[in-house]
Chains A and B, each alone.
Chain A
């Protein structure tokens, strides 16, 4: 670690660490700062990840006497009654994320509202017969499809339950941050200063940035972000199936233009996430409902992208596998057909990937999309964020029980190392998959066909993938 290097080689080689401790142009004056209320932790961004972070800390026993604040630019939304129709923004929640949410009582609320568990995931190629099926041996739930509004409702309830510890500021956008000097003198405050749009000021010992992929916290902290805009947009919609079914399978087919996924919401409804080119996405939004439904069914059922060559090569490989491992080939099931789409439920948003080179600075930590942004093809986005929360909360809890300064880089770096180790390979893999599946070129199709078939046949590899993509 960079801290170790500094110790061994003397202070001269503080370069790796120095960047994290560098102050902004003007450290806050003590006299000015003194008036602003001081918090132990301020979470900037009240989305699913920011709200969950604040709730987890608020319910932590070692934070019993601490002051936490959550800043959310939007207004407070009331979620007393869920509307009849499903929202078009849903997330795939892994069992690990469900465990985190139940650790502070939010999962019970989710279950009492609505969610759909799925037991199986079928992923297949449009250009070949190759497919891979994920399912747990013990028929446990693989994951849950939950509307984002349902999650927010559960989180808001649990935040209300600890209102004595966690103060939520709605309609409060942070417009400026002032960073402290690493070793402060008597003139400057050691805390992070936050200025809100309405002129109010806050101070905090630790600032957690959960403000999304265009994170202001990350930009103001001058943390470099590796980002790339995919030339793809995701089209979402709420769909109604032709006939009621035991809708407990998540379907995803890789088309050359991008993956199309059908996520179960109930026995009669599913959520669509179709990543495709910007032009095609706009077309899909503009076309009438019947044509839209036809496009979806065709995308899942049509074999127009198959070529004889690939089909033969795939078939040969499959028979080889069935000789070696008879149970290694599965029968491809067909997804349910779609009858209609909920009016007004069609929407699109652009896709990109991003990864912050650093997750932490002195008194600052990034979580969720502020730290990393991925393509929805793996259904991992919010689960990575919940994973960040579990890790950061663990380290902050230990730090609080040790009487440590919460903003100290010592434990923040531990969080960063753990999460980067976990996230980087996953984010890279998702990016590679996205690119690999964006082509019709025979060699690459063959590669991914055989790769997919082989992976489907090898339980250890499949289990590892499942576990990796799970909690």
Chain B
């Protein structure tokens, strides 16, 4: 108990230098045990797996030439930032990846640890740690092949620092996947008024419109911090069917894939190659280079 108190105070004092927002923590604390109820408060995140997991999987498979369909992400080291109860870490683990899931809230980590513990395969492939992103930077420099930050950047205090830290722990030419919410009138009406207050598919108070991130701003921050944005796709949630789908417009939810540039920020031969590939029409819509 005492150590928890000390940790919390440490975080409160370091708020201004951290990407973690303590107000946000309080919101999620109450729901720490509800993660794995597929029909509960987090049902929309559960069904989001139906599009975000294939998006991550197929993007990585397209970039690699050496994989086995029975174990598609085998050998890939993934960092799941803001992993919550492990909703995204587990499917990635099942596909063969070695996943490190971090979340500033200890109760979330406890829920995640407990849920994976029954499956010996997952228990080995996934490691959870209660931590903020900055706290692991020193020991994890250029460690990960992939970072996923899904439904996280709209909750962080300092987005630019968050992106810088991502860059530090990511290997050169590693991939960064982000899903988040745009800052538009439409996202206010649908994402907050309808989703939280009317239908209640998102717990009330989860999101603050002020902290939503438009894709243009996210791209700008990424490009000026050593990333090359490869794909931006709009996502749409249908509350009647409880399912997500892709859409052309990024005015509500969207997903983004960026690649950290090679050593010294020079475009590497592989970078040039993937730029060429992106110029060709591809099945994944909405490429933004």
Give the residues from 1 to 56 in chain A that come closer than 8 angstroms, CB to CB, to chain B: 1, 3-4, 6-8, 10-11, 14, 17, 30, 38
**Bound complex: CA A114 to CA B242 (Å):** 50
Residues of B within 8 A of A7 (CB): 39, 43-44, 199, 201, 239-240, 242
Do the beta carbons of B54 and A402 come within 8 Å of each other? Answer: yes
Contact residue among A1, A11, A404 (Cβ-Cβ distance under 8 Å from B241): A1
Do the beta carbons of B70 and A3 come within 8 Å of each other? Answer: no
Query: Which A-chain residue is minimally distant from B74 (CB atoms)?
Result: A65
Do the beta carbons of B120 and A38 come within 8 Å of each other? Answer: yes
Q: Which A-B residue pairs are the 8 nearest by beta carbons?
A: A64-B70, A403-B91, A403-B94, A7-B242, A403-B95, A61-B69, A183-B37, A6-B39
Q: Mark B93-107, 1 if CB is under 8 A from A, else 0.
A: 111100000000000
22 examples of A-B residue contacts, CB within 8 angstroms: A3-B242, A4-B240, A7-B199, A7-B239, A7-B240, A7-B242, A8-B240, A38-B120, A61-B69, A61-B70, A62-B69, A64-B69, A65-B70, A183-B37, A189-B118, A400-B94, A401-B72, A402-B49, A402-B53, A402-B91, A403-B49, A404-B53
Size bin of chain B's contact surface: 35 or more
Query: Which B-chain residue is minimally distant from A191 (CB atoms)?
Result: B118
Residues of A within 8 A of B114 (CB): 186
Residues of A within 8 A of B38 (CB): 408-410
Given contacts A1-B241, A65-B71, A186-B114, 10 further A-B contacts (CB under 8 A): A1-B242, A4-B242, A6-B39, A7-B240, A61-B70, A182-B37, A402-B57, A403-B95, A404-B91, A405-B90
Residues of B within 8 A of A401 (CB): 57, 69, 72, 95
Do the beta carbons of A11 and B53 come within 8 Å of each other? Answer: no
Do the beta carbons of A8 and B95 come within 8 Å of each other? Answer: no
Contact residue among A62, A189, A404 (Cβ-Cβ distance under 8 Å from B70): A62
Do the beta carbons of A64 and B68 come within 8 Å of each other? Answer: yes
Query: Which A-chain residue is minimally distant from B35 (CB atoms)?
Result: A183
**Bound complex: CA A408 to CA B114 (Å):** 18
Contact residue among B36, B90, B119, B120 (Cβ-Cβ distance under 8 Å from A183): B36
Tell me, yes or no, whether A63 is within 8 Å of chain B by CB: yes
Q: Mark A214-226, 1 if CB is under 8 A from B, else 0.
A: 0000000000000
**Bound complex: CA A6 to CA B239 (Å):** 10
Shortest Cβ distance from residue A244 to the other chain B in the assembled complex, whole angstroms: 50
Residues of A within 8 A of B53 (CB): 402-404
**Bound complex: CA A6 to CA B242 (Å):** 9
Shortest Cβ distance from residue B105 to the other chain A in the assembled complex, whole angstroms: 18
Residues of B within 8 A of A400 (CB): 94
Residues of A within 8 A of B120 (CB): 38
Shortest Cβ distance from residue A413 to the other chain B in the assembled complex, whole angstroms: 11
Shortest Cβ distance from residue B288 to the other chain A in the assembled complex, whole angstroms: 25
Residue from A8, A30, A61 having most chain B Cβ neighbours under 10 A = A8
**Bound complex: CA A402 to CA B94 (Å):** 9
Residue from B36, B38, B93, B240 having most chain A Cβ neighbours under 10 A = B38
Residues of A within 8 A of B47 (CB): 410
Shortest Cβ distance from residue B233 to the other chain A in the assembled complex, whole angstroms: 17
Tell me, yes or no, whether B200 is within 8 Å of chain A by CB: yes
**Bound complex: CA A403 to CA B53 (Å):** 8
Query: Which B-chain residue is minimally distant from A188 (CB atoms)?
Result: B118
**Bound complex: CA A162 to CA B60 (Å):** 29
**Bound complex: CA A7 to CA B54 (Å):** 23
Tell me, yes or no, whether A385 is within 8 Å of chain B by CB: no
Tell me, yes or no, whether B50 is within 8 Å of chain A by CB: yes
Tell me, yes or no, whether B92 is within 8 Å of chain A by CB: yes
Tell me, yes or no, whether B40 is within 8 Å of chain A by CB: yes
Query: Which A-chain residue is minimally distant from B72 (CB atoms)?
Result: A401
Tell me, yes or no, whether A336 is within 8 Å of chain B by CB: no
Residue from B36, B40, B72, B94 having most chain A Cβ neighbours under 10 A = B94
Residues of B within 8 A of A183 (CB): 36-37, 40
Residues of B within 8 A of A61 (CB): 69-70
Residues of B within 8 A of A182 (CB): 37
**Bound complex: CA A434 to CA B38 (Å):** 44
Shortest Cβ distance from residue A438 to the other chain B in the assembled complex, whole angstroms: 44
Query: Which B-chain residue is minimally distant from A165 (CB atoms)?
Result: B70
**Bound complex: CA A11 to CA B38 (Å):** 11
Residues of A within 8 A of B50 (CB): 402
Do the beta carbons of A4 and B36 come within 8 Å of each other? Answer: no
Q: Mark A391-414, 1 if CB is under 8 A from B, else 0.
A: 000000000111111001110000
Do the beta carbons of A404 and B49 come within 8 Å of each other? Answer: yes
Residues of B within 8 A of A30 (CB): 118
Do the beta carbons of A8 and B199 come within 8 Å of each other? Answer: yes
**Bound complex: CA A191 to CA B200 (Å):** 31
